[in-house]
Structure 1
Amino acid sequence: MAETLDHHTALIYAMVTVSAVDRIMTDAELARIGEIVSNLPVFADYDQDKLVKTAEACGEILGEDGGLERALGLIRGGLPKKLHETAYAVALEVAAADLRVRPEEARFIDMLRDRLDLDRLTAVAIERGIRARNQVL
């Protein structure tokens, strides 16, 4: 039987994975994940006490051979089509949290965009919105 995630877990996996791909999970990234889970309407019915265990489970998968591909498959499999843009947006928010998107994070973002079948125009619009939200002088 194939492993599947619920939509909450899939969204959290997207955020944890983008934070972990460069092997540096910053405090800013972890705080942003917590803020997103606390404030986004899609998480209104999520038990926030599960967040740490969910993040740890994702980390275990990422530590396996082929873990990144497995995580991407689980993310896609756990999301209804209408949450694909949301997953992309929250992953970008976490990548931007420390005001520096590392090459590994950018590569994962590209992989996530492709896996979620987001068209380029939609992806660019989401990216621009995230950039505008995180702009500093």
Structure 2
Amino acid sequence: MSETVSIHEALIYVMVITSASDAKMTDSELAAIGDMARTLPVFTDFDPADVLPAAQRCGERLQGETGLTDVLSLVADALPVHLYDTAYAMAVDVAAADMDVSREELRVLQILRDRLRLDKLTTAAIERGAIARHRRV
């Protein structure tokens, strides 16, 4: 694939594919994506107004026959290795945002772990952190 996306757009794509995997992007998940784009240090030089256009471009790319594979290739090509765990953490937080992690979201997380070659200890720590952050009283 000769196309490229920016690092910021690749991170948004990761969040969008996670949220869209179960065919319902909940308000909680959309809010989580917007919140991360506004507050995380990795988005310091990013205009939060660009989240929606980036999400729409991701959605358009996903419509193709090999959409998920194509998007994952764009993500892996755009992200430096030191941001792979960051991307995975953002995907986990989006999946956990509505307190209902679907089978489809779990599958996308698994595909993402494999595509980014993240080790089990790292992913377990990220997932455990998300459980702690999203727990309710």
**What SS is found at the alignment partner of 2:83?**
helix
Listed as ranges, the gaps of 5+ residues in structure 1 are none
| Aligned amino acid, residue 70 of structure 1 | D
Q: 1-side partners of 2:48 and 2:135: how far apart?
A: 28
Q: Which residue is 2:64 aligned to?
A: 64
Residue 11 of structure 1 aligns with which residue? 11
Shift of 1:122: 0.6
In the aligned structure 1, how far is the partner of 2:18 from the partner of 2:82? 20
Report how many aligned residue pairs link the two structures: 137
What TM-score, normalized by structure 1, do the two folds share? 0.97
Displacement of 1:48: 1.6
- 2 CA distance for matches of 1:84 and 1:30? 21
**Structure 1 vs Structure 2 CA RMSD:** 0.9
Q: What is the identity, as a one-letter code, of the residue corresponding to 1:27?
A: D
Equivalent in the alignment of 1:90: 90
Unmatched 5+ stretches in structure 2: none
**Are 2:129 and 1:119 aligned?**
no
TM-score (norm 2): 0.97
Counterpart residue number, 1:128: 128
CA distance in 1, matches of 2:50, 2:36: 14
Moved over 4 A (4+): none
